[in-house]
Amino acid sequence: MRQVMLPPNCHCTKLPLQWTDWNYYKVTPTRPQAEPKSAPKGIVARLGTAADRCAIVLRHGDRISGLVFSGPIDRVSTTLIIDSFEVMVPDPSRKGAKTT
């Protein structure tokens, strides 16, 4: 995800972080929801890190979602939250179904 893909008013592009690509679809024991068969297609993710803060930003369709943390990326609580970060879409087989 390049900065140009984000809206100009997106605060996340102004943080002094080192931004790298992040593989949303990488399945780990703590991220089973990343399974490509069940995760929505086309998610682009970036991870921003600094000594005292970090962030993850996902672009999915025409939307952008993100989480910003105080503290380093290797903090256990931060890692657990990032591992639980999930993009959900309505099940097309359930007419009128909404996600929460």
DSSP secondary structure of 11-59: GGGGS--EEEE--TT---TT-GGG-TTTSPTT-EEEEEE-SSEEEEEEE
Q: Are 40 and 13 in contact (CB under 8 A)?
A: no
Res. 3: pLDDT tops 50: no
pLDDT of residue 100: 45
Neighbouring C-beta atoms of residue 58, cutoff 10 Å: 19
pLDDT of residue 4: 39
pLDDT of residue 98: 55
pLDDT of residue 47: 93
Q: Which two tokens stand for residue 64?
A: 């952008």
For residue range 12-38, list pLDDT tens digits in order: 556 578 999 999 888 888 888 887 777
Flag whether the pTM goes above 0.85.
no
CA–CA dist 71, 8 (Å, integer): 26
Helix (H, G, I), strand (E, B) or coil at 79: helix
For residue range 40-77, list pLDDT tens digits in order: 888 999 999 998 899 999 998 888 999 999 999 999 99
What confidence category does residue 10 fall into, taking pLDDT thresholds of 50, 70 and 90? low
